[in-house]
Structure 1
Amino acid sequence: MPSNSDLAKLAQKIALEGPHKYEHTPRRVRGLFNGNYAFDTIGAFHVWEHPYYPQFYVPSSSFSSSATLTKTHDIDGTKGGASFARLTVDDKHTERVVIFNTAPLKDLVKIEFKAIDQWFEEDVPIYQHPKDPYKRIDILKSTRSIKVALDGVTVAETTSPLFLFETSLRPRYYLPPTSIAWEYLSKSDTETYCPYKGKANYYNVTINKKEYKDLVWYYVYPTMESGPIAGHLCFYNEKVDIWVDGLREKK
């Protein structure tokens, strides 16, 4: 069983200091565990454990008759404000669960996102974490020129990029596949998930016999809201040299 020390540290911080932010969400939230919906609620909360994105916390009263939620012991350093718990459905259980015992999160349950089989927001599966309701993505066609270089070698150049603007993040430039110098790229086995864009795959880039892992990502089947970026490639701005209309961008 994995150590709960990281979960305990998070619970200590939230029990003593409170979350960064929290608010009720009217969205229906369900969790599938061992073939059953362990919980089903319209009383969930978005809880920002840090400033970047929220997690779902669900009421302890929302667990179904097929699931057993049992407090195991109080978490040291929380002054009784949080307890570890065990979620059991038939012959499967997880202890990556915390119940908060005091305001403002009293009787809300945090289940580590990957500890159950599938989360649903309404009838839509979510794979990484809930979307932040205060963030949005805009994908805009542009005729501004984009040039990408690494170690003095141009690896992409186009005058038909897509600019992706995501709230509070730097712009990303998605480039058509025909603008890429493919001789420098090789497929990576890495996959990641973004709640706004979907499952990403990656390429490594090799320049002057040096390989840069996972420097480029792309979406074969992005989410509907991010559909225009399908098949386009994006380089990490922070790790390459990029010129936008001839002006070099700061890393």
Structure 2
Amino acid sequence: MGLAWQQGPLAGGAVGRFLVPVELPERLLYAEPSRRRMRVRFGDSWIADSEDVVLLHEPGRYPVAYFPLEDVVPDVLTTEDRTTKHKDLGTTTWFTVTAGDAQKTRAAWQHTDLPNHAGDLKGRVAFAWRAMDAFYEEDERIVGHAADPYHRIDIRRTSRHLVVRDGNRVVADSSRPMVLYESGFAPRWYVPREDVDDTALTAVEGQTFCPYKGLCSYYDIGAAHRAAWSYEDAWTEVRRISGLVSFEPDKVEVELDGTRLRLEPGQGVVSHGIDRDLSVEELSG
């Protein structure tokens, strides 16, 4: 999750609540300085480079990076005739982005009629993530969406007893699983391969990626489609789960210390905002 998506405190499906005596507005937007250098690449050129990026956290969306216009290469943006209306931020002007031989319409936007309380976004432009070639923090590519400072992953070693069954067949039996705590999600339990009956897993086509964990592969277990998954080469920050297997408790029987696990709020991943339907191809290029 982040501050405003999945089950974050500003999201529509927040798992917690603010302990305040008055009712909060239905929608709360939050803008803050990123304090990270961000760059945008398009048409084999760097078209934006800034250490003064503002992140906008808007309910139901991934965070969006807004760059000062003075940190965007001149003549990259061409104003389009079409405008839209943002329910909180007023008129939105759209731009065609051009660099060399590359051109994308509706690839950047600016809120040009901001209410007084939203002055943090004045004179700033945001780029549509999928329309650009890539976004970077310093010299490292950021995949999926702007890095959310409120998204955290902790991985803990445990000696709890986890058993996975498909009918009468024991698929996994471990007293050394790893538990992955990810902001806004219910805990996920990862089992070492040595404690898994690999013959019960049938690899299936189609992978997904997580901006925080990397490329994910899936397995059928008997008639249960995509009932297990594994990050075979998890990203550095979560390397401890590389090659381990996790199981869907609504598709196979997962028992922890004798208690059957059930699907909990926050188990499912929901794509939000302008960068929906992210695909494995985001990892290339």
Per the shorter chain, which TM-score range? 0.7 to 0.9
Question: Retained in 1: the 8 A contact 2:221–2:227?
Answer: no
Please report how far the alpha carbon of residue 134 of structure 1 lies from its aligned counterpart in structure 2 after TM superposition. Answer: 1.8
Please report how far the alpha carbon of residue 73 of structure 1 lies from its aligned counterpart in structure 2 after TM superposition. Answer: 2.3
Q: Which runs of 5+ in 1 are unaligned?
A: 1-16
Q: How many residues align structurally?
A: 230
| Matched ranges for 1:1-251 at <5 A | 20-51=29-60, 53-65=62-74, 68-78=76-86, 81-95=91-105, 96-103=107-114, 104=118, 105-150=121-166, 153-203=169-219, 205-207=220-222, 210-212=223-225, 214-251=226-263
Please report how far the alpha carbon of residue 47 of structure 1 lies from its aligned counterpart in structure 2 after TM superposition. Answer: 1.7
Q: Does the C-alpha gap of structure 1 residues 222 and 77 become closer, same or farther in structure 2, counting only changes over 3 Å?
A: same
* Higher fraction of strand: 1
Q: How many angstroms apart in 2 are the aligned matches of 1:18 and 1:145?
A: 42
Please report how far the alpha carbon of residue 250 of structure 1 lies from its aligned counterpart in structure 2 after TM superposition. Answer: 2.5
* Structure with bigger RCO (C-alpha 8 Å, 6+ apart): 2
Q: CA-atom RMSD, angstroms?
A: 2.3
Moved more, 184-193 or 23-32: 184-193
Q: Does the C-alpha gap of structure 1 residues 34 and 76 become closer, same or farther in structure 2, counting only changes over 3 Å?
A: closer
AA of the residue aligned to 1:171: P
Q: Which runs of 5+ in 2 are unaligned?
A: 1-25, 264-285
Q: How many angstroms apart in 1 are the aligned matches of 2:171 and 2:113?
A: 55
Q: How many angstroms apart in 2 are the aligned matches of 1:222 and 1:237?
A: 22
AA of the residue aligned to 1:89: A
Question: Retained in 2: the 8 A contact 1:47–1:54?
Answer: yes
The 3-state SS of whatever aligns with 2:35 is coil
Q: How many angstroms apart in 2 are the aligned matches of 1:24 and 1:202?
A: 38
Q: What per-residue deviation string (whole Å, max 9, x for no partner) do you get for residues 156-207 of structure 1?
A: 221110111112211011111122222232223322222221222222x142
* Length-normalised TM-score, structure 1: 0.82
AA of the residue aligned to 2:110: I
Q: Does the C-alpha gap of structure 1 residues 99 and 152 become closer, same or farther in structure 2, counting only changes over 3 Å?
A: farther
Moved more, 113-122 or 43-52: 43-52
* Length-normalised TM-score, structure 2: 0.73
Question: Retained in 1: the 8 A contact 2:27–2:59?
Answer: no
Q: How many angstroms apart in 2 are the aligned matches of 1:57 and 1:238?
A: 40
